[in-house]
Amino acid sequence: MDNGKVAIVTGGGQGIGKAVVKRLLDDGFKVVIADIDKEAGRETLEEYHALGDSVFMHADISDEAAVKAVVKETISCFRRLDVLVNNAGTMIRKPLAKLSLTEWNKVIGVNLTGAFLCAKYSAPYLSKNKGSIVNIASTRAFMSEPDTFPYSASKGGIVALTHSLACSLGPEVRVNCISPGWIDVSRSEKRRTRKPEKLSEMDHKQHPVGRVGRPEDISAMAAYLISDTAGFITGANFVVDGGMTRKMIYE
């Protein structure tokens, strides 16, 4: 049932973002799917069209003019904005000596600067409706594998940006953050590149909950954080990783 509210989901064409789009449509939101990948965005729009009112907007969120255009078009289409989910992200994995400044800036630009820009231009409209921002970070903000420098740095920045925005935009806007762990997004990739992830029994068993995560685990947390039930929560980061970051590992 239409709840009258409107959400923007960046990176909504694939992966976790696609699951968030579906959950919000199921919960009665009108949803703007903002994605740089036209193929993925249009597939998601087509797949979920029957669930509710949604539109796809092609955008590189590291570009300020593109972000301003998405927000402007959202208001033009739906006359309001209640929720922003900053999910879009990219990764470049390279040894430090081989990582160029251009590559560093690309990851920081999409993952961190993009979240800042979307928050900046959405905030005036979110404030009018006591809205909410949910930022998608990563457990890599707190722990790392080798050669993930810009990704880890950007996700750590998102966690810090979250509490800064919460203190600056409150009480009109609540801002929270989710840090996913290992999430199997293979089923929610675009059709042309979709391949089932080969998960072993050990992959599942090494998680204290007994399985690798699913995109729906993150979309459920996002739905909770934007709900009135979470009205006393802001500036917080929620690790959703099946318990992996609480596990002591000895070699």
In a domain, 178, yes or no: yes
Q: How does DSSP classify residue 83?
A: E
Q: Of 41, 51, 39, 38, which is closest to residue 12 (Cα–Cα)?
A: 41
* b/e per residue 75-90 (b: at least 16 CB within 10 A): eeebebbbbbbbbbbb
Q: Which of 125, 151, 224, 250 is catalytic?
A: 151
Q: Which residues contact 193 (CB under 8 A, 6 or more apart)?
A: none
CA 110 to chain centre: 12
In a domain, 111, yes or no: yes
User: What is the domain count for the chain?
Assistant: 1
Q: For residue 138, what are the domain limits?
A: 6-246
| 20 neighbors 12 (Cβ within 8 angstroms) | yes
Q: How confident is the model at residue 248 (pLDDT cuts 50, 70, 90)?
A: confident
In a domain, 196, yes or no: yes
Stretch (H or E) spanning 39: helix 38-48
Q: Of 176, 186, 224, 214, which is closest to residue 24 (Cα–Cα)?
A: 224
Q: What is the pLDDT of residues 61-88, one digit of tens each?
A: 999 999 999 999 999 999 999 999 999 9
Q: Which residues contact 228 (CB under 8 A, 6 or more apart)?
A: none
| 216 neighbors 23 (Cβ within 8 angstroms) | yes
Q: How confident is the model at residue 195 (pLDDT cuts 50, 70, 90)?
A: confident
Instruction: Tell me how far apart the alpha carbons of residues 149 and 34 are, in angstroms, rounded to a whole number.
Output: 26
In a domain, 251, yes or no: no
**Mean per-residue pLDDT, 143-147:** 93
Q: What is the pLDDT of residues 12-54, one digit of tens each?
A: 999 999 999 999 999 999 999 999 999 999 999 999 999 999 9
Q: Does residue 151 carry a catalytic annotation?
A: yes
In a domain, 130, yes or no: yes
In a domain, 167, yes or no: yes
* CATH code, domain with 10: 3.40.50.720
In a domain, 156, yes or no: yes
Q: How confident is the model at residue 150 (pLDDT cuts 50, 70, 90)?
A: very high
In a domain, 1, yes or no: no
